Amino acid sequence: MDAFFEQLKHPNPNMRNRAMVDIIDNRDETTIPRLMSALDAEDTTYRRAAVKTLGAVGLDAVPAIVEALANSENVTVRGSCAKALAQVALNYPDEPFPELGLQGLKQSLNDPNPVVHIASAMALGEIGNAALDILLESLQTTDNLALSVSIVNALASVGGDQASEVLAKLADDDSVNGYVKETAISALSRMEMVQNFSRPKE
């Protein structure tokens, strides 16, 4: 296992991916805590590889990730936790995302650090429909401009009629901050492109 963890630091992404697979295949009770302890590593490559591996571990890793997201004093760790939850959603799109994870991300949208709240909004966008209510509620209650912009982008990732409707309202509302409005307009056109692209050809 030590050798696999060492290989997560390898400059070659193929070697890191192989190490990820080996870690998952040989998982034991130390795997998740060990990956969690890498989230404040100075080595960015190692830290990102740990985030990806936690995402590949999946739903079992969510409680430990949420715990650190809520309680770590280290901004890098909290940001990495939000990204790890996004990776879980990416790796397991057909599994219902745990309520614990949703609530953890809802809390971290209020994190004072932009690295954390922006990563949290992106993670909720990755989770999709299950996160829609949280995103819509936060959009109405926040007065943080950077977070509003991140939520608008996350809504575009979620997609669907409800998200489109909210974005269209923002795009048409002259009382909305200009930057948020611009983001809503470009998010809408991005959603349309995705819909056209995924539509079956005649």
24 assigned to some structural domain? no
Which DSSP string corresponds to 50-116?
A: HHHHHHHH-GGGHHHHHHHHHH-S-HHHHHHHHHHHHHHHHH-TTSPPPHHHHHHHHHHTT-SSHHH
Supply the mean pLDDT for the chain. Answer: 94
pLDDT, tens only, 157-178:
999 999 999 999 999 999 999 9
At residue 33 the predicted structure's pLDDT band, cuts being 50, 70 and 90, is very high
At residue 192 the predicted structure's pLDDT band, cuts being 50, 70 and 90, is confident
Range of the domain at 158: 58-198
How many structural domains are present in the chain? 1
Average pLDDT over residues 43-62: 96
Which pLDDT score, from 0 to 100, does residue 200 have?
A: 58
Dihedral, CA of residue 59, residue 34, residue 113 and residue 143, to nearest 10: 10
Q: How far is CA 132 from the centre of its chain?
A: 14
13 assigned to some structural domain? no
40 assigned to some structural domain? no
100 assigned to some structural domain? yes
CB 82 within 8 A of CB 71: no
Share of the chain above pLDDT 90, in %: 93
Average pLDDT over residues 69-77: 97
Which pLDDT score, from 0 to 100, does residue 191 have?
A: 87
- CATH number of 167's domain: 1.25.10.10
Which pLDDT score, from 0 to 100, does residue 198 have?
A: 66
| Whole-number Å distance between alpha carbons of 76 and 78 | 6
160 assigned to some structural domain? yes
Average pLDDT over residues 41-68: 96
12 assigned to some structural domain? no
At residue 128 the predicted structure's pLDDT band, cuts being 50, 70 and 90, is very high
Q: Which amino acid is at 44?
A: T
Q: How far is CA 172 from the centre of its chain?
A: 28
88 assigned to some structural domain? yes
Radius of gyration of the chain (CA): 18
Which pLDDT score, from 0 to 100, does residue 199 have?
A: 60
CB 72 within 8 A of CB 36: no
pLDDT, tens only, 77-121:
999 999 999 999 999 999 999 999 999 999 999 999 999 999 999
Whether the predicted pLDDT of 201 surpasses 60:
no
Share of the chain above pLDDT 70, in %: 98
52 assigned to some structural domain? no
